[in-house]
Structure 1
Amino acid sequence: MLSSVLIANRGEIAVRVICTAKRLGLRTIAVYSEADRDAFHVKLADEAVAIGPAPAAGSYLDGEKILAAARRTGAACIHPGYGFLSENAAFAEACAAAGIVFVGPPPSAIRAMGLKDGAKALMEAAGVPVVPGYHGDRQEPDFLKQKAYEIGYPVLIKAVAGGGGKGMRRVDKAIGFDEALAAAKREAQAAFGDDRVLIEKYVLNPRHVEVQVFADSHGRAVSLHERDCSIQRRHQKVLEEAPAPGMTPELRAAFGEAAVAAAEAVGYTGAGTVEFIADASEGLQADRFWFMEMNTRLQVEHPVTEAVTGQDLVEWQLRVASGEPLPAGSDEIGIDGHAVEVRLYAEDPDQGFLPSVGRLDLLRFPQGDGIRVDSGVTEGDSVTAFYDPMIAKIIAHGPTREAALDRLAKALAETVVAGPKTNLAFLRALVDQATVRAGRHDTGFVDTNAAALVGGAVADPAIAEAVALLFSPPSEPVRVDGWQDPWSTTDGFAVSGGVGRGARVLVDGEPYDVHVSWGPEGVDVTFADARSTGAREGAAVKTDGGVYALEGGRAVRVARFDPLEATLADLAGDDRITAPMHGKLVAVYVVEGDTVAKGDRLFTVEAMKMEHTVVAPEAGAVVSLSAGEGDQVAQGAPVVVIEPAEA
C-alpha cells in the first residue's frame, strides 16, 4: 500500500478520500485555495498546502502548483477526486514524470474516452452500441445544422470534451439550432478549453443508466453493477439510485458486459463509469440502450454503489494504484437492498435554480440507520461563487426501494439549512412524487413536472414566530456590577396601558409591517394587514447570522428594517436590469443607445459552472451599462438600465 496521498480537490470528495486514506494508514495531504483556507478538508488532513487564489484556474486547475505541493510534502500518490484535473491526461503524464502515482487510469485511456467523438468511434469498433449521430471533425455551423436535419429533430448538441451537462443543448426545431450551437460552444470553451461539439439523436423517454467498472494492472476488469441517474435537471444529476428500477438479471448482465468491453477496449485501470442512454418507452430492453460516454474517474454518485455492494470504492482505487489486484471478482459482488442519493445544493429552485451564495448560518444533517451524509462544509462555512454549490449528498439505504425512499424522505425532513437558498424543499417534493415512487420517470421528468416540484413559501405563522424571536427581550435582566436595569425586567409590567409598537421587518429583503406587543405570556405578533398568524410552534431559530423562519425545507431571514441602510440603488426605479447571481459576465449583447424589444438578450452571467442569460423585460432604449464582458458582478448589482419605450 502506498504511504501517503495528496488530494488534488476540495469539498466533500476531498473529505471522502481523506477518511478512507486515514483508515488505511496513509498520510493525507490537502491543498487549498485562498477561499478554502478554513475549509473542512483542510482541517481534516494531516498536512495542508496553499496553492493559490480563489478562482480554480489559479489553484485547483494549476497542475504545476499541485505537483510542487506533492514534491514538497513527499506524497507517494495524487488522488484527483472528480472534476478539476481528474480527467486531464497531461496532468496524469506529469505525475508519472515526477515519479508520483496518479490514482486513476493511464493517460491513454483518459484521452481515448475524454473526447466523445473519438470514444464513440472506438466503442463502435469494440461492438458497443452507440447513439446515432454525427461524431466527425467538421465544425462549421451550417454543416452541423445540415447534419442535425439529416439525423432528425429533436437532437442533442454535446461538447466533445468534458461532461456534467456543460456545453449541452437540446434542440427541437431547426429555428433554434444556431443560437443553441453558439451557446453550447461558448460554454464548452469556458468549461473545457475546447469548443468542439457533436450532434446526436435525442432519445425520447430516455433513461440514464450507468455501470461502475473497475480494472487492475493485472488484466482483470469487473462490473460493480448499475446505477440509475435518470432524474436530472439541465443534464445535471439530481437523484441517483442502485439498482436501476426495472432491471432484470439478464439485462444487468448485458449492461455489465458492454461496460467491461468498453473498459477493456482502452486498456483501462482503476475506477470508471460507463454511461448508457436507454429508450424506456416500453421499459428497459437489451436492444434499446446505447453508449453515451465513459467518465474516467470516480463519480459523485458512487455512494449508492458502495451501499448496495458493501465495498469502499476509494479503498479499491488506492489498492489498484498500489499495484494490488482487485479485491473481488464479478461473481463475488452481490447487491444488498436498494440505495438512493440526492444532491443538496445552494441554489434557488423558485428562481430557475440560480446558484446561491452566503454563510451557512444553520446546518443540521440527519442521522440514523441506513443514512449517510457526505459533505465538505460545516455550520459557519460559506458557499462562494467560485466552485460547485453542492452542500452535501444525502444517501439512504434500505432492504427495498420503497424502504430506501421512505428513509430518504425522513432524512430530508430532518435536514435544516439556513443562509443561502437551497433545493431542500424541491428534493422533499421530488422524493414523495408518485411517478418517482413508481420508478416510471425519465430524464425529462423534472422539467415536465417543475410546477409540482417548485414554488411555495414560508407561511405567515412561521414568519410571525421569527418576528417574535427577533423582538424577544434578553432571557436575563441586564446587570452591571450587581446593579439591575429595571427596564430590562421581563415581567410584562407597564407604566400605563399595554406594551407594544408597530415595526417594519424585512423577510428576505421584502418589507412586512407588524405590530409587536410584550406581556407575561411572551411576545405577540400581528400583521398590519390583519393576516392570520395562526399557531406558532418551533418555526424559527436564532443564529449568529440572524433570525430565520423555517418551514418545509425552506428558510427565510427575518431582520429589523433599518432606513439608514437604504441606498440610491434601493430607491431607483424598475428600469435597472440586475445580475441574477454572483458571477462573471461572459457576454454582453447590447451597447448604450441600442433599442431592444421585449425578450431580446441583454447579457449572460456565468457562475458555479452554469450560464444564465438575462433578457429585456420590455421594449426600450439602453441608457447605460454598469459592467462589461469579463467583469465580476454581485447578485442584484445593476448591469443595464433601459428607458421604456413610450406606449
Structure 2
Amino acid sequence: AEQRHVMGESALKLARGIGYRSTGTVEFLVDETTGEFFFLEVNTRLQVEHPVTEEVTGIDLVREQLRVAAGEPLGYGQDDIGFTGHAVEARLYAEDPAAGFLPATGTLVAWRPADEPAVRWDTGVEEGSHVGVDFDPMLAKVVAHGPTRSEAAGRLALALERMHLGGVTTNRDFLVATLRHEAFLAGDTTTDFIQRYPPGSGPTVDEATAHQLAIAAAMWLQGHNRAAARVLDRIPSGWRNARMPAEQVLLAVGDVEHNVHYRSQRDGSFTVDGDHLAVVHRWSPDDLDVEVDGVRRTVRVTLAGDPAGDLLHLTGAGTTTTFRVVPRFTVPGMEAPSGGLVAPMPGRVLEVRAAVADTVTAGETMLVLEAMKMEHHMTAPFDGTVTEVRVTAGDQVENGAVLLVIEPDEVEGEDD
C-alpha cells in the first residue's frame, strides 16, 4: 500500500509538472528485489486496462475524460477515491499460443458470451464477424470483479470457459490456464511469466472426457438430422423395423478420431459403442441437454459447413471443442496434398526460392512470408523434390493455405 501511494504521488507530481489536465497513465517498472520503481512512459490517453480501475473505484473514466475536455470540474478530490475489491482483465485475442502467439484469421461462426458468471465484456465483434489481417486481432476485453484477487481470477476463468466460441483460433484456453495457475494466483507475475510457464499445446480435456463430448456431439447430430428430415420426419430418431447395424458417425479433432456407434432404445435412450448409455433430455438447434453414463451436462453447439467435412463447435467441460464430421466418402479433388508446406499465419509472400523439380534438403528456406511486420522463413520439413509451387511473390495468403508441395526422398532400406 505504501509503495502504491508513493507511485501515485510521483505520477501526480509528473502531471502537475507538465501542466497535464486529462485522463492519462504513467507507467513504472518495479525491481522486485529492492522494491525500487523506475519511470517508463506516460500515455496521454486511456489504457486498454482502464476497466480495471473503473471496476475497483466505480468511476467512469471515459465520462470523466469527456467532462474534463468540456471544461467541467471533477467535483471530487483525491481523498474521495476509494478502492473496493479486486478486478482482473483478460484480452481475448485471435492468436495461437501453441504457435508462438501468431495471429489467426477466420470467421466467428460461434460467439456467445456466457450469461453466468456476470463479468464485463468490452467487444466490437459478434457472431459472423470476420477477423482479418488489417487490424489488431483483439476480440474482447473481459473484466471480472470480486472481493479478493483469487475470486476475481476464478470468476474470469469460469466466464471464459463457458463462452461459446468457434471459427477462429484464440488464446482463450491459455488465459484460463494462466488464471488458474498457482504461480499467477500467488502473484508471481513478472514479465518472464510465459517463459517460465509456457502454454501447453495438448488437449485441455482428458481422453475419457473428450470421448464423452464426442458422444454428446453425435447425439446433437442425430437430433439435427431428424429435425432436417424431409421424409417420415415424425418417426423417432434411430427407429428401425428390422435388425440393422448401429448408426455411426466419425468425428475428428485434429489427428484424433472418435468413431461413435449408437443405437436407439425403446425408452428413447441410446446405447453407444456397446457399453455407454446416453439420454437426451432436451435438444435444440443451439444446445443439447444430455446425460452420458450418469454425467449430465448442457453443451452449446454450432454447426458450420466446410469442404472437408462439416465443423461442429461444441462448448462443454471448460472449453470449445471443434469436431470435424468426417464424410463417409471423399469427394474427388478434395484430397489434401501430401508433403504440402502450409502458411502458419495469414501474410504476404515476399520471395519464392524454389521451383518445380528443385531438389531440396530439410531446413532449406523455400520462401519468405511477411506477417505482422516480420519476415518468416518457411523451410523444407524433409529432403525431397518440389512438385508444385502454388504462390508467387506478392501473393496474399490465408492461414493454412498450401504454398508448395514437396515429394519426400525415398529412404534406403524401406520395404517396397
Superposed CA offset, 1:584-615 (max 9, x none): 33x437343484542757423415x7775543
Contact 2:144 2:156 in 1 (8 A): yes
Could you tell me the TM-score, scaled by structure 2's length? 0.77
CA distance in 2, matches of 1:509, 1:386: 31
When residues 432 and 340 of structure 1 are mapped into structure 2, their CA distance, relative to the original with a 3 A threshold, is same
Contact 1:462 1:539 in 2 (8 A): no
Residue in 1 that maps onto 2:215: 464
Residue in 1 that maps onto 2:147: 399
Structure 1 residue 327 displacement after superposition? 4.6
Ranges in structure 1 where 5+ consecutive residues have no aligned partner = 1-247, 480-484
Give the 5 Å matches for 1:251-266: 251-264=3-16, 266=18
CA distance in 2, matches of 1:563, 1:506: 15
Residue in 2 that maps onto 1:271: 23
CA distance in 1, matches of 2:233, 2:176: 46
Query: Alignment partner of 2:240: what SS?
Result: coil
Residue in 2 that maps onto 1:440: 188
- Is 1:561 aligned to 2:296, yes or no? no
Superposed CA offset, 1:396-452 (max 9, x none): 11222233223323333433323323222222211111111110221111222115x
In the alignment, which of 250, 264, 284 is matched to residue 518 of structure 1?
264
Contact 1:374 1:393 in 2 (8 A): yes
Superposed CA offset, 1:210-265 (max 9, x none): xxxxxxxxxxxxxxxxxxxxxxxxxxxxxxxxxxxxxx22x223322433344455
* Paired letter, 1:419: G
Give the 5 Å matches for 1:118-133: none
Contact 2:28 2:38 in 1 (8 A): yes
CA distance in 2, matches of 1:380, 1:335: 39
CA distance in 1, matches of 2:298, 2:100: 26
CA distance in 2, matches of 1:375, 1:491: 40
Residue in 2 that maps onto 1:119: none
Superposed CA offset, 1:164-203 (max 9, x none): xxxxxxxxxxxxxxxxxxxxxxxxxxxxxxxxxxxxxxxx
Residue in 1 that maps onto 2:312: 547
Superposed CA offset, 1:55-90 (max 9, x none): xxxxxxxxxxxxxxxxxxxxxxxxxxxxxxxxxxxx
Residue in 1 that maps onto 2:297: 538
Give the 5 Å matches for 1:352-371: 352-367=100-115, 371=119
Residue in 1 that maps onto 2:93: 345
CA distance in 2, matches of 1:328, 1:454: 50
CA distance in 2, matches of 1:642, 1:478: 44
In the alignment, which of 335, 344, 348 is matched to residue 584 of structure 1?
348
CA distance in 2, matches of 1:419, 1:498: 36
When residues 369 and 556 of structure 1 are mapped into structure 2, their CA distance, relative to the original with a 3 A threshold, is closer
Superposed CA offset, 1:519-557 (max 9, x none): 433454439xx9999746436444353533333223213
Give the 5 Å matches for 1:621-640: 625-640=389-404
CA distance in 2, matches of 1:269, 1:431: 36
Contact 2:88 2:153 in 1 (8 A): yes
Structure 1 residue 302 displacement after superposition? 0.6
Query: Alignment partner of 2:297: what SS?
Result: coil
Structure 1 residue 496 displacement after superposition? 1.9
Residue in 1 that maps onto 2:286: none
Compute the RMSD of aligned alpha carbons. Answer: 3.6
* Paired letter, 1:460: H
Query: Alignment partner of 2:79: what SS?
Result: helix
Contact 1:309 1:334 in 2 (8 A): yes
Residue in 2 that maps onto 1:606: 371
Contact 2:24 2:45 in 1 (8 A): yes
Superposed CA offset, 1:126-171 (max 9, x none): xxxxxxxxxxxxxxxxxxxxxxxxxxxxxxxxxxxxxxxxxxxxxx
Paired positions, count: 383
* Paired letter, 2:314: A
CA distance in 2, matches of 1:262, 1:597: 56
Structure 1 residue 312 displacement after superposition? 0.8
In the alignment, which of 188, 193, 202 is matched to residue 455 of structure 1?
202
Contact 2:338 2:405 in 1 (8 A): no
In the alignment, which of 68, 78, 95 is matched to residue 320 of structure 1?
68
Structure 1 residue 509 displacement after superposition? 8.3
Structure 1 residue 395 displacement after superposition? 0.9
Give the 5 Å matches for 1:58-69: none
Residue in 1 that maps onto 2:157: 409
Q: Quick one: percent identity of the two aligned structures? A: 36
Superposed CA offset, 1:92-136 (max 9, x none): xxxxxxxxxxxxxxxxxxxxxxxxxxxxxxxxxxxxxxxxxxxxx
* Paired letter, 1:270: S
Could you tell me the TM-score, scaled by structure 1's length? 0.52
Contact 2:250 2:325 in 1 (8 A): no
When residues 566 and 270 of structure 1 are mapped into structure 2, their CA distance, relative to the original with a 3 A threshold, is farther
* Paired letter, 2:368: F
When residues 500 and 472 of structure 1 are mapped into structure 2, their CA distance, relative to the original with a 3 A threshold, is farther
Residue in 1 that maps onto 2:131: 383
Contact 1:340 1:404 in 2 (8 A): yes
Query: Alignment partner of 1:407: what SS?
Result: helix
CA distance in 2, matches of 1:399, 1:487: 53
Shifted more, 371-380 versus 258-267: the winner is 258-267
Superposed CA offset, 1:290-334 (max 9, x none): 233333321111100111122111112211222234454333322
Contact 1:477 1:488 in 2 (8 A): no
Residue in 2 that maps onto 1:147: none
CA distance in 2, matches of 1:491, 1:591: 54
In the alignment, which of 226, 231, 236 is matched to residue 490 of structure 1?
236
Structure 1 residue 467 displacement after superposition? 1.9
Q: Which has the higher helix share?
A: 1
* Paired letter, 1:543: T
